[in-house]
Copies of this chain bind each other. A is one copy, B any other.
Amino acid sequence: MAFNYPNGHSFNGKSFKQPRVSQGVSQSKRGMSLEADINAANSYYLTTGQAVIHKKPTPIRIVNVNYPARSAAKITEAYFSQASTTDYNGIYKGYYIDFDAKETSHKRSFPLNNIHDHQVKHLKAIAAQHGLAFMIIRFSVLKETYVVWADLIFQYWDNQATGRKSIPYETIVKSGELIEQRISPTTPYLAAVDKLLARREQKGDNLV
C-alpha cells in the first residue's frame, strides 16, 4: 500500500537512511564544532567578566579589491596565508594565555601531524615569557576534550624524529585535565585550566 506524508510527499524506506557525508566534509564539521564551542565559551567569559579571549581572524593575503560606488569594498582576489601564531589568545586572572584547539578522530593517541611547526615555535616563545601556553585536544569519537600544558606537546614534538609521532591517549588523560561538559557554555575550558594551575602550585613545579 502506498501512502503519503502530510505534506504530500510519498513515503519510501530510503527516506530514513542517514545522508551520506564525505570524509572531508565530516572532518571539517568536527573542526568547526570545537571552534564553535570555544567561541561560545569565550563569549560567555567576556560577558561575565571572567576573561578576555578572542580567536584571531584567519590571515589572508589580499591581491585585488573593487570599490564600487556607494557600497562596501569587495575583495575579488585573495589567498589564505600562513599564520605565525596560534588561533587564540587573551587575558585570564592577569595571566596572558595562548592556545590552539585540535580535534582528532583517533581513539588511542593524538597524532603530532595535527600540529604545525609555527604553532610549536610560537607556544615556546610564549612559555619563555611566562605566559600560560596550552592546547585543547578533543577526541571526537570518545567525546572527550582535554587541556594540556604546551610543555607536554614540546616533549613529544622535540623527540618525534627518533621517538613516536603521537601522544598516547593515556598520557593526555594523566597529564591533562578533562573539560567537564556543561549546558551553556558546553566547553568551559578555563575550569580545566584552573585545575592545571592548582596542580602546578601543589607540585611547586614550573611546567608553564
Contacts and interface: CB of A to CB of B under 8 A. Distances in A.
Contacts of A204: none
A173 interface: no
Given A78-B78, A95-B96, A131-B91, A57 B59 contact: yes
Contacts of A129: 51-52, 91-94
B58 A56 contact: no
Given A58-B60, A77-B75, A79-B72, A52 B125 contact: yes
Interface of A: 46, 49, 51-52, 54, 56-60, 62, 72-80, 83-85, 89-96, 98, 122, 125-126, 128-131
A85 B78 CA distance: 23
A197 B8 CA distance: 72
A200 B196 CA distance: 32
Most buried by B among A75, A92, A93: A75
A30 to B, nearest CB: 20
Given A49-B128, A57-B58, A89-B90, 15 more contacts: A54-B84, A54-B85, A56-B57, A57-B57, A58-B60, A60-B62, A72-B80, A74-B77, A74-B78, A91-B96, A91-B98, A91-B131, A93-B129, A94-B129, A96-B96
